Structure 1
């Protein structure tokens, strides 16, 4: 007589794995709320804190959801890609257009302030996570991967549409020739958007490959609420701040226009899913 042996249930994610990304997301949101309410050196400190919290959230969530190797791969890949694109951009004007950073952003590597790769890290992982969710219904792994990379690059570039005018207003960088720009945004040229789309496609293709080769297990080990909260607040919350406090109605309108269709797609396709 033999006894039936059932497979053990999949382990539930630990409390720390589930809670820590959410704590970082909440801290990020609260700090971002303080940005339009501050000024001078205090606003600079808030900017640094936002970027540090956002980049830390990305790495922590990648590790919690996909494993330590993915978190390390994300950190190394985004840092190297960001410094490479930004250093070339500063030296040649390609692919963003001609621009320069101010001294307010602190120490640099190859002319690129340390804060900049952290900002890329803050933006890149939530963009990929959202795209991964939106691409799930697409049939076929190759088509799904193409849609995932293109969507992530679009979200990545769209985030910058809101961020860049705010950073120019703060004096962190300036453009030699900001025209032509998007309607309502007079301080940032269209070449910047084209450059972010190109950089996003390269980065997201490499990130997609990195996740596929490094993730532990076949499915995320915790939900995606934390990076998606960060993404939603930094776009829609940023648009609100631009309209109500920062005097940037053009970027506010673009932020809302770019974010709302994505939010509607998330609600429609993933209602009732684990977040």
Structure 2
């Protein structure tokens, strides 16, 4: 078990280092239309796999390999089903299709990279909220709604970039009301899907351990943080870091390409994260016992 944990820690550090190296190139390249002399058609899919993989490893380090792996599989399967339904029927997101940019393409016309984007969104949002809560306390409806709001704000920043700049997908029908050509029903669907996924993930991860320990009053035990080690402490922060990096990248690309509402939504999500971390305090464990 210890050897497996050491391997997970090493892989996590390597992937974090790779992300730190690749992220600036991705931001500068897309935001300012910097194109190298060679093809980077694979880069978008690679970054999504990298981000999703990092958060999956972070969850393994924080909650244990089996619960985290089950949570990741649940996100992949459920998001694949709803995305396939959406691509082939127009419900619940609207009428759209994926272009050949994201790879590999799965049966039903949905790229596998999109499932790893959902891992980033769900585990990222869950990690932001859950880090403030006691070990034994499951997230409540209000906290699940906070994750769904974060996911929807992120999608509001993503859509102009994905549909009009990097061309990951195309919307075929705008609808009576739209946002940069994206039907508003898409964002309602995102909110609902994100809410359901985070509830499912919470049920699964609550069966695992948590490297943090809490006092009776719900405060993080500092000794447990120090004992966890540097890699584990980085794993605790990874959801917020990667989610915020995505917000920054898409918000900046929106800004440089004139999609100012998208930038505003990214900024709003960033402010919500600050509010969640600064003002949300864990309630005493005894309040939720029995």
Could you say which TM-score interval applies, normalised by the shorter chain? 0.7 to 0.9
> Structure 1: how far apart are the matches of 2:262 and 2:45?
21
Aligned residue number for residue 161 of structure 2: 166
**Could you tell me whether the CA contact under 8 Å between 1:168 and 1:174 is conserved in 2?**
yes
Aligned counterpart for 2:209 among listed residues 207, 211, 216: 216
The 3 A distance-change label for structure 1 pair 240 and 103 is closer
Consecutive aligned runs of 4 or more in structure 1 exceeding 6 Å deviation: 14-19
Q: What CA deviation, in whole Å up to 9, does each residue of 1:158-200 have, x standing for no partner?
A: 2222222211121221112235234xxx132211111101111
> Structure 1: how far apart are the matches of 2:181 and 2:269?
19
SS at match of 2:170: strand
The 3 A distance-change label for structure 1 pair 168 and 24 is same
**Could you tell me whether the CA contact under 8 Å between 2:84 and 2:110 is conserved in 1?**
yes
Shift of 1:52: 1.3
The 3 A distance-change label for structure 1 pair 44 and 250 is farther
Aligned residue number for residue 252 of structure 1: 263
User: Number of paired residues?
Assistant: 249
Aligned counterpart for 1:175 among listed residues 158, 171, 177: 171
The 3 A distance-change label for structure 1 pair 232 and 141 is same
The 3 A distance-change label for structure 1 pair 105 and 98 is same
Aligned counterpart for 1:128 among listed residues 101, 126, 129: 126
Aligned counterpart for 1:45 among listed residues 18, 26, 42: 42
What aligned pairs does 1:142-221 form with structure 2 within 5 A after superposition?
144-169=139-164, 170-179=166-175, 180-182=177-179, 186-213=180-207, 215-216=208-209, 219=212
Aligned residue number for residue 59 of structure 1: 56
**Could you tell me whether the CA contact under 8 Å between 1:127 and 1:155 is conserved in 2?**
yes
> Structure 2: how far apart are the matches of 1:113 and 1:128?
23
**Is 1:267 equivalent to 2:267 in the alignment?**
no
Q: What CA deviation, in whole Å up to 9, does each residue of 1:36-61 have, x standing for no partner?
A: 42448744332122101101101110
Moved more, 227-236 or 22-31: 22-31
Moved more, 56-65 or 43-52: 43-52
TM-score w.r.t. length of structure 2: 0.75
Gaps of 5+ in 1: 1-10, 271-275
The 3 A distance-change label for structure 1 pair 29 and 96 is farther
Gaps of 5+ in 2: 214-227, 282-290
Aligned counterpart for 1:103 among listed residues 100, 124, 129: 100
Structural RMSD (CA): 2.8
Shift of 1:15: 7.8
**Is 1:228 equivalent to 2:240 in the alignment?**
yes
Aligned residue number for residue 31 of structure 1: 22
TM-score w.r.t. length of structure 1: 0.79
Aligned residue number for residue 254 of structure 2: 242
> Structure 2: how far apart are the matches of 1:95 and 1:189?
11
